[in-house]
Amino acid sequence: MTATSADFALRAESLDAADPLRDYPARFLGSDDPEIVAYLDGNSLGRPPRASAERIAAFVADGWGRRLIRGWDEQWFDLPLTLGDRIGALLLGAASGQTTIGDSTSVLLYKLARGALALRPGRTEIVLDRDNFPTDRYLLESIAADLGLTLRWLEPDSRGGVTAADLARVVSERTALVVLSHVAYRSAYLLDMPEIGAITHEAGALLLLDLCHSVGAVPIELDSWAVDFAVGCTYKYLNGGPGSPAFGYVAARHLDDFVQPIWGWMGRAEPFDMAQGYRPAPGIRRLISGTPAILGMIAVQDTLDMIEEAGMAAIREKSVALTEFALDLVRAWLIPHGVVVSSPVDPARRGGHITIDHPRFREIVERLWQRGVIPDFRGPDGIRIGLSPLSTTFQETLTGVAEIRRELDH
């Protein structure tokens, strides 16, 4: 029997009532804003935690306003490392001393890729896929052109992603570096880890993983997967705010030999000596270049508090439940209008969002935004429904998909 709108409404109400994380959405600003009917873009820019508004105000008044330059000696100088360690422990499955935070994703991706390639001299190929995020592709094209290397392009199914079999067909003794996204930015395809790592390493290559669309939504185990390098942002599921800094991970086994190409004073051994000549600092500090964005690290800490309290297992469980509910709504309400699901239907192979395609979505999204229903458009004709487990309710999901149906009805 086909589910009715009333059936879905009762189901959303029941799911929200039984949700172990049901108290968390109220901890975010905008959750009670009547102009925001449904926010379905938490995988692109997360809502601000209420606690972050207080923390940022206190930082401006006290940490910056009263401590002034003394703040560097008291906390800020080591904050990229201490906060990096916390991100590593809570979210990355990474032992201490391997993660730091401070640059943009693009800058850290460049540093990690160049440093990794220097560890595989004589190898001539970089493997990446055409469905990876544009910055990943553009940066690797630039690096390959600069170093005279060859790009080996994977051509995954656009509704899926790179499989272990896909990778095994292209890696060889010529492969220096494999660059992949743990969760595909468009389809939400979730890589089969650690199989990807095993295939990469059997060929003698190194693996650089982009975690931007997985960190905070999907459990990650970088150390046990034997990942070599990783990068991820903090403004999606970690709610750090627009342009909040990214984090970078270098496996401990590479740290002694890893040298990144942007040499700055804060990544030098004994930086306050202001001495002639660059010598990389020991450990993960060598990934740092210049003065990190301390203000941009403030809000991330409140989301880390919530994640530690809730637990990643519960967060992933709700993420799966949200996307399953959204897919049921899409099947019932949108597929009859010609909508196509462009994400894996198997939750074990899917991250925290789903993508649906229809020729009218570009024009529809603008009208949805005007009514306070805020999904994400991704060309050529896709809507991403991003469901952040800590801040999104099942009722919100129901309302958002219902408004998309309303547009297609008319």
Q: How confident is the model at residue 379 (pLDDT cuts 50, 70, 90)?
A: confident
Q: Encode pLDDT of 124-155 as tens digits.
A: 999 999 999 999 999 999 999 999 999 999 99
Average pLDDT over residues 242-271: 96
Burial of residue 31, with CB atoms counted within 10 A of its CB: 0-12 exposed, 13-18 middle, 19 or more buried: middle
Cα angle 244, 247, 250; round to 5: 170
Residue 287 DSSP one-character state: G
**Among the options 55, 77, 78, 133, which is catalytic?**
133
Q: Encode pLDDT of 213-231 as tens digits.
A: 999 999 999 999 999 999 9
Cβ(210)–Cβ(131) under 8 Å? no
Helix axes 5-18, 312-329, angle to 10 degrees: 180
Q: Encode pLDDT of 390-404 as tens digits.
A: 999 999 999 999 999
Catalytic residue list contains 103: no
Cβ(133)–Cβ(185) under 8 Å? yes
Q: Encode pLDDT of 295-309 as tens digits.
A: 999 999 999 999 999
pTM of the model: 0.96
Give the contacts of 410 (CB within 8 A, at least 6 positions apart). none
Q: Encode pLDDT of 178-207 as tens digits.
A: 999 999 999 999 999 999 999 999 999 999
Lateral strand order in the sheet of 247-250: 99-101, 247-250, 229-232, 206-210, 175-181, 125-129, 150-154
Quickly tell me which residue has 């004073």 as its tokens. Answer: 265
In the chain, how many H helices and how many E strands? 14, 13
Cα angle 166, 171, 173; round to 5: 165
Overall residue count recorded for the chain in this entry: 410
Mean pLDDT of the chain: 96
Catalytic residue list contains 67: no
pLDDT for 1 beyond 70: no
Average pLDDT over residues 278-292: 96
Alpha-carbon span 178 to 282, nearest angstrom: 26
Give the per-residue pLDDT at 3. Answer: 76
**Among the options 129, 136, 210, 228, which is catalytic?**
210
Cβ(314)–Cβ(102) under 8 Å? no
pLDDT for 2 beyond 70: no
Give the CA distances from residue 151 to residues 68, 114, 146, 316, in Å, rounded to whole numbers and listed in that order.
48, 14, 12, 34
> For a pLDDT cut of 90, what percent of the chain falls above it?
96
Average pLDDT over residues 313-342: 97
Burial of residue 66, with CB atoms counted within 10 A of its CB: 0-12 exposed, 13-18 middle, 19 or more buried: exposed
pLDDT for 74 beyond 60: yes
**Among the options 47, 111, 236, 285, which is catalytic?**
236
Q: How confident is the model at residue 157 (pLDDT cuts 50, 70, 90)?
A: confident
Give the CA distances from residue 370 to residues 29, 37, 319, 363, in Å, rounded to whole numbers and listed in that order.
19, 10, 27, 12
Task: List domains and CATH numbers for the chain.
Answer: 5-48+311-409 (3.90.1150.10), 76-307 (3.40.640.10)
**Among the options 285, 349, 384, 405, which is catalytic?**
384
Cα angle 141, 84, 120; round to 5: 40
Catalytic residue list contains 235: yes
**Among the options 229, 235, 249, 377, which is catalytic?**
235
Catalytic residue list contains 361: no
Strands 175-181, 206-210: pairing is parallel
Look at the alpha carbons of 264, 267, 268, 273 in this order and tell me if their dihedral is positive or negative: positive
Catalytic residue list contains 384: yes
Give the per-residue pLDDT at 30. Answer: 86
Give the per-residue pLDDT at 351. Answer: 97
